[in-house]
Amino acid sequence: MSTATTSDAEEIPPQKLRLVVAASAAGTIFEWYDFFIYGALATIMAKHFFANLPDAQALIFSLLTFSVGLIVRPIGALVFGKIGDSQGRKGAFLVTIVIMGAATVAIGLLPTAAQIGGWAAVLLIICRILQGFALGGEYGGAAIYVSEHAPKGGRGAATALIQASASIGLVGALGVILLTRNIVGEDAFRDWGWRIPFLLSALLLAISIWIRMQLEESPAFRKLKAEGKTSKRSYAESFLEWRNLKIVLLALFGLMMAQGVGWYTANFYTQIFMERILRVDQATVNIVMITVVLISAPLYIFFAWISDKVGRRPVMLFGMVLMALMYFPGFHLITRAANPALEKATISVPVSIAADPADCSFMLDLTGGAHQFASSCDIARTALSDAGVSYELRNAPAGATATVTVGDQVVESVNAEGRSAAETKAARAAFAAALQPHLVAAGYPAKADPDQINFPLLIGVMTIFIIAATALYGPQAAALVELFPTRIRYTAFSLPYNVGTGWFGGLAPVTALAIVTATGNIYAGLWFPLIVTAIAATIFLFLWPETKDRDIHA
């Protein structure tokens, strides 16, 4: 290993460092914008690409399609990590941005299920796989590139904009969606206007490529290459040598899985919870999220900067603990703020389903529609899930038709097993329509009343979630760069980051929603991020080293 000092980085002129940070962040913002458009439009995409499923299952499958892009990220991390460690940082993340941009534009051009049937979903999934593959190599390259230019004692501050780029990309995605929705109108947006944010990526792609073409290779990699010490076997060094593998495992289980579930819960599952479960108007949700994400941008920079002063450990541990403490009380407060009528009805008029246990499935179809959810139990549960109503599932005698009890009213479900997909869908719709008046009479609102939304409370609670997420995420880039040796940094850094963010974080919204649908409790899904965060915080507390003063050129 090289024992060089950080003098090379310290001699970089401030104006050049600013260019490096700005250029790296600009490209990263664009890639996050691309990736987040789909997440923000999940409910609309479900209607166009998974039209044969009931609403709850279509949304779950749409979220799984979002998640598949995250699941393949570790593959991209390995491919581009190898390129970055052997050929250079710049070339690797120049290729990633081209793949990401091309796949995003392609989504805006895809035919829907109404035009080509199931092939629409297949093409969408292919585009999401390409996006995830590219993103797997993007973040690590940008964070490492900036860190290797930054002076010792300033790596947190230098990488702060990279950390904030995810939020800026999310604001851009939500802003473009909101603007497009207002210009073309809600009906037109849901019909065809959703394509516009994807197609705008063509212009952003051209700008981002031009910016990144202006960059030079990082000084740390140039020095390593000049000394002939670049890694030719980065996979073996990273994952087959225990001294490095134990660091990879620590990064994954002691930090990244908590950061993944925390960030995606705060930034994505809260949106789904408000829109899908609390029935808040989508435009209102977008405005709330834009407000909160704007608040978050300077917080990433603050926590990254403060970690240069007090250390990475205390700042990131604070974020984990705060997030764990907020999950359940925070979401209860979100319900109180966004839909107080629903909270009141849930407490005063509980709902239950009595059904033969053999009649009830897990309510998660990974096949895209092979399971019709046609039993009387599944139809009853689908209707309540679509209405955002919590319920208790009780056992009924074998063979009995499921019934829904709302207060003192009992509504018998219907059984559509053996019918065609169209007949099953019609049966579900008819039962939901028959059940709705009973729910409304019991005080369950068909949707959240905009006049009853407590915006200060809602934004305040969301801000606490964002404080936790930014405290954990802000110092993360510098901490991970400092954790790994230069010669295998791109590979070893990128894999745990993308597994934690992609597998744990990306699957957090769909896992939580599936648990909610299966249990009937709108808060039950929060057990997944809470348990993951608690495990990571414990590992982090006892095993994570302080890294802020390390020599990253070694």
Residues 366 and 459 in one domain: no
* Confidence at 414, pLDDT banded by 50, 70, 90: very high
What sign has the CA pseudo-torsion 64, 68, 73, 78? Answer: positive
**232 and 290 assigned to the same domain:** yes
Does residue 67 sit in the same domain as residue 136?
Answer: yes
Contacts of 369 (CB under 8 A, 6+ apart): 50, 52, 53, 118, 421
Per residue in 481-510, pLDDT (tens digit) is: 899 887 888 888 888 988 898 789 878 888
Question: Tens digits of per-residue pLDDT, 159-201?
Answer: 888 888 877 887 888 888 889 988 999 889 999 999 999 998 8
Q: Please indicate, yes or no, if residue 54 is contained in any of the structural domains.
A: yes
Residue 550 counted as domain residue: no
In a domain, 387, yes or no: yes
Residue 305 lies in a domain: yes
CATH number at residue 212: 1.20.1250.20
Cα torsion 229, 78, 199, 163: sign: negative
Mean of the pLDDT values across residues 137-142? 76
Looking at the structure, do residues 293 and 377 belong to the same domain, yes or no? no
Which of 388, 412, 441 marks a domain boundary? 441
Specify whether 245 is located in the same domain as 307.
Answer: yes
377, 410, 441 - which closes a domain: 441
Least Cα distance to 150 among 164, 138, 161, 139 occurs for 161
- In one-letter notation, the amino acid at residue 276 is R
pLDDT tens string 444-456: 998 899 999 999 9
> By the 8 A CB rule, do 470 and 263 touch?
no
Q: 78 with 125, same domain?
A: yes
Residue 226 domain boundaries: 7-339+451-543
Cβ–Cβ under 8 Å, residues 315 and 474 = yes
380 and 476 inside one domain? no
Q: What is the pTM of this model?
A: 0.81
User: Over 70: is that where the pLDDT of 59 sits?
Assistant: no
What are the tens digits of pLDDT across the range 375-407?
999 899 988 987 889 999 999 999 999 999 998
CB atoms within 10 A of CB 164: 25
- Residue 333 included in any domain: yes
Q: Would you call 378 helix, strand, or coil by DSSP?
A: helix
Give the CA count within 13 Å in the CB-facing half-sphere of 186.
Answer: 4
Q: Measured between alpha carbons, how far is residue 150 from residues 31, 111, 218, 482, 549 in Å?
A: 23, 46, 10, 12, 13
Same domain, 375 and 522: no
**Which of 393, 414, 441 corresponds to the end of one domain?**
441
Same domain, 42 and 178: yes
**Residue 10 has what pLDDT?**
46
Q: Decide: helix, strand or coil at residue 529.
A: helix
Looking at the structure, tell me whether residues 45 and 107 fall in a common domain.
yes
554 in any annotated domain: no
User: Model confidence over 281-299: pLDDT tens digits?
Assistant: 988 998 898 899 889 989 9
In the DSSP assignment, the letter for residue 366 is: S
Sign of torsion, CA 383 386 391 392? positive
Phi first, then psi: give them for residue 521, nearest 5 degrees. -105, 120
| Residue 471 domain flag | yes
At 385 the pLDDT is 83
Cα angle 261, 460, 503 (rounded to 5 degrees) comes to 10
Same domain, 84 and 230: yes
The pLDDT tens digits for 522-532 are 999 999 999 99
Residue bearing the bigger pLDDT, 251 or 104: 251
CATH number of 381's domain:
3.40.30
Q: Per the domain annotation, does 552 fall within a domain?
A: no
**Residues 397 and 455 grouped into a single domain:** no
Number of domains present in the structure of the chain: 2
